Amino acid sequence: AQSVTQPDIHITVSEGASLELRCNYSYGATPYLFWYVQSPGQGLQLLLKYFSGDTLVQGIKGFEAEFKRSQSSFNLRKPSVHWSDAAEYFCAVGAGQAGTALIFGKGTTLSVSS
């Protein structure tokens, strides 16, 4: 069965420091992978997605993620965190077929300290 694991429930990073949020997935074939962000009281916004090709993908707000098939991972990174990045981050996997649901991880809450 498909699953997504985000090992870190809560992470605190100093403003200006680098960030890496971990995501591991379980899926039989090459999955479609997504990172979404949710600010308090808001819906989810797509940061980036991986379908195929270059394993390093760039997203909005300066985020990037790297797909590593051998590790079944799709970690999210940002070189320098801003206070406005404080939010909850969700990794998700899809089968790549229309009509199939996204499977989300439980999320990682990011706090940014000054």
Closer CB to another protein, 56 or 101, in the complex: 101
Report, in Å, the least distance between residue 95 CB and another protein.
Answer: 5
Nearer to another protein, 85 or 90 (CB): 90
Helix, strand, coil share (%) of the chain residues, nearest 5: 10, 50, 40
φ, ψ of residue 33 in degrees (nearest 5): -120, 140
Contacts to another protein from residues 3-42, by CB under 8 A: 32, 34, 36, 41-42
- For residue 110, which of 39, 60, 49, 55 has the smallest C-alpha distance? 39
Q: Which of residues 82-111 bind another protein (CB under 8 A)?
A: 90, 94-107
Residue 104, number of CB atoms within 10 A of its CB: 15
Q: List the one residue from 21, 23, 44, 112 that touches another protein (CB under 8 A).
A: 44
Q: How far is the CB of 82 from another protein (least distance, A)?
A: 22
User: Strand pairing partners for 77?
Assistant: 20, 64
